[in-house]
Amino acid sequence: MNEAVTEGLFIHITGIVQGVGFRPFVYELATRNKLTGWVRNTSGGVEIEVNGTSESLTRMLAGLRSELPPLARIDTLETRECIPGDFDSFNIIESQFSEGDFIPVSPDVSICQDCQNELFDPNDRRYRYPFINCTNCGPRFSIVKDIPYDRPNTTMAAFQLCSQCNEEYTNPTNRRFHAQPIACPDCGPFISFEENGKTVASKEDALNLARHALRNGQIIAVKGLGGFHLACDASNQRAVELLRDRKKRSDKPFALMAFDLATVEKHCSVSKMERSLLLDRRRPIVLLQRKEDSPISRAVAPNQSTLGFMIAYTPLHLLLLEPEPGYPDAFVMTSGNLSEEPIAYDDADAKFRLNPLADAFLLHNRPIHMRVDDSVVRGLNDDFTIIRRSRGYAPNPIILPTKLPPILACGAELKNTFGLSRDNYAFISHHIGDLENFETLNSFEQGIIHYERLFKIKPEVIATDLHPDYLSTRYGLARAKQENLPAFSIQHHHAHITSVMADNGWNSDQPVIGLSYDGTGMGTDGQIWGGEILVCTYGSFQRKFHLRYIPLPGGDVSIRKPARMALAQLWEAGIAWNDDLVPVKFLSMEEKKAIRFQLDNEKNAPKTSSMGRLFDAASALLGVCQVATYEGQAAIELESIVDKKETEEYEFNISEDEINPAPMWEELLRDLFSGTPIPALAARFHNSIARLSLKTCQSIRSELGYNTVALSGGVWQNMILLERTKFLLSQDGFDVLVHHQLPTNDGGIALGQLMIASAAYTNQGKV
């Protein structure tokens, strides 16, 4: 009676299971376990039918989870027993597609170790070929025009496979089986070098010319994976300054690229967590502590103690950066654009826009379909935080705690991303940028069209920010009107807090305490909010405390000039403008007169409760930053000088619902004048904000009993404030929610908008 009984099993899998070597993996697994049957792609995932003994079927199911290929991700796996079919082997059968189905698309990923070994192996037929890839690596999202993810739907469609590539492509046991971007020197794309509008070399010669130019301190535009970079030798002061000048970017740090980890470690100290982030196949830019003796030009990141490094992630980058005696080892790789325009990705557009910025171009003929910027992350002890979520991360969906109707969330204004929901998925777009010019707005609109087509989503609801003048709001409202869809205008800080709730899978009607510390955000009273302590559910919020309103003399000009914020804070606190204070000295007589007039007469002085502006004022008063040329500069520079050993703190006045910083300013100035070192004062300022956060949360807990605190908003990019606040809250028994999958800045806000719009849509009329 030992004869094994044959059973039949049908398996349906969803997730990232196409274009990542999933079917060959299933084929190998089934064959190894002596199962018969088939596997196929469908437009909604992968289907498998297998016959075998119950033991082998169990092993197969376990293997599906435990031996998954590196890029694959299973979101759901459903099985049902079926009558065993008549199979004598296991086969990969033809794909089946039906209208309206969808499947997530893999983000772009860095070159894998196997391909990198082949790239530098003189005996390999792809030796030094800049477009080597396989099912475990290479371009994905940036070359996909439509689903299903098959070669004709990518920008590789024009390249006809040679017979050797075709053999690999059709052999299920080959690492390149159905690798859609598969290519080789005989049949694939190639590189070229262009100077003064003329192609002067191609292939290896082009590479040599590009390396020669970099060695000689020139700036070259390099076409990469998701767009163009501007590259130069990071240790060449003259080259870096020239690039700053040409890009019209005075202070904002440039990203750097190195060939490998060892090189990064020469210039920066790298923790265990940071090492794993650098080597992660998403290859983000990682913010690292700079080593004092690094020869990298200070002009790369003025007034900062950190450098943003990434490791070469495409074969082309590896070839361009390959070490050689006398060759630079760290390269500026900043996005190819002028100041705040979006990164160039189309050849013709890049040649036009980057011509005044670059001495030469390193180009290739594989078109980029979707522009994707480099992502930026920062390590934090055993954790990390995403500052810009783009290449490698997008368009991976966020898995939601509940099913949502199809909603388009238009995001905010700065660091825009938009979001689209379908079932349990929230597709949060790659980083679009600051919606302040026509090019970026265009990129936003094209992006929405692309995501809707790719993921087969037709929005039934539109969510926008409450601010009527954001270009994203205007787009959303116009579209709602045109398509006759319900639109919800969502308070910015409510969206921040619900974003971090959903980021953590919060699935309950239980309210949380939300600390939204941010730069701006239109409030329900028409004022500019940003230092908000809320009580939130997905459906509603209540404002429990906020920073005292202070005037912004001259409006936006005060956002660019932290010195003006310092004077406004002093004015509000009734403290005289002492001529020994740096911001008082810094501003001209006329400007001070104008500010005084605006404050005294409430003329052109909108009010704000922004935490970002509070940091600006502190940064200016401590003499750190008087003028900001990029968002958050004053706070970033203040954070970078903090004396981490300092534990003292100052008092805020917390009344009914208002937090008044006046007593803190008084103590801070007293200590400043008595000669306390600036780094200690910077620390005390941070400590004071952490303490006031704890106090307000305690007050809400004793009133309402809520014990979970959610942190969101751009100010939380400040690691010192974040760690200190988390520590105080956890020590006092609070559960603390912070972002893991999305940025804490406005790049994460679309997720909150989706959740709120869904709640409002289902309870029509309540919000």
| Residue 657 contact partner, candidates Zn ion, Fe ion, none, CB within 5 to 8 A by sort of partner | none
CB of 111 to Zn ion, least distance (A): 6
Query: Residues with Cβ < 8 Å from 335, sequence gap 6 or more?
Result: 227, 228, 229, 230, 255, 343, 373, 374
**Angle at the Cα of 644 (from 639 to 649), degrees rounded to 5?**
85
Q: Out of 61, 162, 485, 627, point to the residue binding Zn ion (CB under 5 A).
A: 162
Helix 438-454 to helix 471-483 angle (10° resolution) is 50
Within 91-120, the residues that bind Zn ion by CB under 5 A are 112, 115
| Residue 134 contact partner, candidates Zn ion, Fe ion, none, CB within 5 to 8 A by sort of partner | Zn ion
Q: What are phi and psi of 532, to 5 degrees?
A: -115, 135
C-beta of 137 vs 534, nearer to Zn ion? 137
CB of 183 to Zn ion, least distance (A): 6
Q: What are phi and psi of 657, to 5 degrees?
A: -140, 10
Cα-Cα-Cα-Cα torsion 598, 604, 605, 611, nearest 10 degrees, comes to -130
Under rule CB under 5 A, residue 414 binds Zn ion: no
Under rule CB under 5 A, residue 186 binds Zn ion: yes
For 703, the enclosing helix (H) or strand (E) is helix 678-704
- Distance, in Å, from the CA atom of 321 to the CA atom of 259, rounded to the nearest integer, reads 6
| Residue 518 contact partner, candidates Fe ion, Zn ion, none, CB within 5 to 8 A by sort of partner | Fe ion
C-beta of 57 vs 112, nearer to Zn ion? 112
Under rule CB under 5 A, residue 165 binds Zn ion: yes
CB of 67 to Fe ion, least distance (A): 42
Query: Residues with Cβ < 8 Å from 513, sequence gap 6 or more?
Result: 533, 534, 535, 544, 697, 700, 701, 706, 708, 709, 710
Name the closest residue to Fe ion (Cβ): 518
Q: Out of 30, 50, 64, 184, point to the residue binding Zn ion (CB under 5 A).
A: 184
Q: How many CB atoms lie within 10 A of CB 95?
A: 15
CB of 311 to Zn ion, least distance (A): 16
| Residue 165 contact partner, candidates Fe ion, Zn ion, none, CB within 5 to 8 A by sort of partner | Zn ion
CB of 497 to Fe ion, least distance (A): 11
Binding region for Zn ion (CB under 5 A) out of 161-169, 303-311, 492-500, 579-587: 161-169
Q: How far is CA 527 from CA 23, 292, 344, 493, 661, in A?
A: 55, 44, 36, 13, 19
Dihedral sign from CA coordinates of 625, 386, 317, 200: negative
CB of 415 to Fe ion, least distance (A): 9
| Residue 274 contact partner, candidates Zn ion, Fe ion, none, CB within 5 to 8 A by sort of partner | none
CB of 33 to Fe ion, least distance (A): 52
CB of 435 to Fe ion, least distance (A): 13
- Distance, in Å, from the CA atom of 653 to the CA atom of 664, rounded to the nearest integer, reads 8
Tokens standing for residue 81: 């027993």
Under rule CB under 5 A, residue 187 binds Zn ion: yes
Collapse the DSSP code of 522 into the 3-class scheme (helix H, G, I; strand E, B; otherwise coil) and give the result: strand
Binding region for Zn ion (CB under 5 A) out of 34-42, 126-134, 280-288, 415-423: 126-134
Q: How far is CA 395 from CA 35, 140, 427, in A?
A: 35, 10, 6
- Distance, in Å, from the CA atom of 57 to the CA atom of 50, rounded to the nearest integer, reads 8
C-beta of 142 vs 610, nearer to Zn ion? 142
Q: Is the peptide bond before 323 cis (omega within 30 degrees of 0)?
A: no
C-beta of 162 vs 654, nearer to Zn ion? 162
C-beta of 490 vs 587, nearer to Fe ion? 490
CB of 530 to Fe ion, least distance (A): 7
Under rule CB under 5 A, residue 179 binds Zn ion: no
Which positions touch Fe ion (CB under 5 A)?
518, 746
Binding-site ranges for Zn ion (CB under 5 A)? 112, 115, 134, 136-137, 162, 165, 184, 186-187
